[in-house]
Amino acid sequence: MADTQTQNEFDDPVISIGVLAQKVGLSVSAVRKYENEGLVIAHRTASGHRLFSHEDVSRVRNIQHMIQDLGLNTEGIRRMQALLPCWDLLPCNGDTRKSCPAYKDNTRPCWMIKGLNCAPQGNECRRCAVYRFGSLCTEDVKRLLHDQNDIQSAGAAIRELLQRLRETRQEG
């Protein structure tokens, strides 16, 4: 039970945009840019203020790493995240997959696309496993794609990345 409580505290949006920016060494406008680019999803209060979780802090730090250390830009990161197979990570049958806009769009991650089949089920994108998984696996998308024909290897790669997500949560 304590693990669930700790996890909820890690996920809960309690950090203002200014505090997030200060924690990661960015300007508020840079954090807004990441949000506009679809790289991070802010929780909006009833009055419209942006709030972020501790997990979002880790996500923004990972984005900074990819930009500063790996030479990617926001478009490159977004397109790599668009390659995440949400239809394989979530329970999605063949008919649903064929009609889903995310299955056909390889320029934007699923959380940026309106009218998805998972949205009417009350799924909140910022809490979705695909969005949360995407912040960790961007560097590993190439490896996942190489393993796509070998289901066992792809499954192992996904399990490894999910383990990294769990470890990141425990560090926060």
Question: Which residue do the tokens 């490896």 mark?
Answer: 143
Whole-number Cα distances in Å, 132 to 1, 110, 150, 165: 21, 12, 24, 8
Q: pLDDT at residue 53 above 80?
A: yes
Distance CA 116, CA 13 (A): 24
Which pLDDT band, with edges at 50, 70 and 90, does 5 fall under? very low
Which pLDDT band, with edges at 50, 70 and 90, does 2 fall under? very low
Distance CA 120, CA 117 (A): 6
| Phi, psi angle pair for 44, to nearest 5° | -110, 130
pLDDT tens digits, one per residue of 70-129: 888 999 888 888 887 787 777 777 888 888 888 888 788 888 887 776 765 555 787 787
Whole-number Cα distances in Å, 22 to 11, 18, 75, 120: 19, 6, 24, 36
Query: Quick one: which of 104, 42, 37 has its CA closest to 75?
Result: 37
Which pLDDT band, with edges at 50, 70 and 90, does 30 fall under? very high
Residue type, 168: T
Which pLDDT band, with edges at 50, 70 and 90, does 171 fall under? low
Q: pLDDT at residue 148 above 60?
A: no
Which pLDDT band, with edges at 50, 70 and 90, does 24 fall under? very high
Instruction: Tell me the HSE value of 132 on the side-chain side, using a 13 A CA sphere.
Output: 22
What domains lie within the chain, and their CATH numbers?
2-171 (1.10.1660.10)
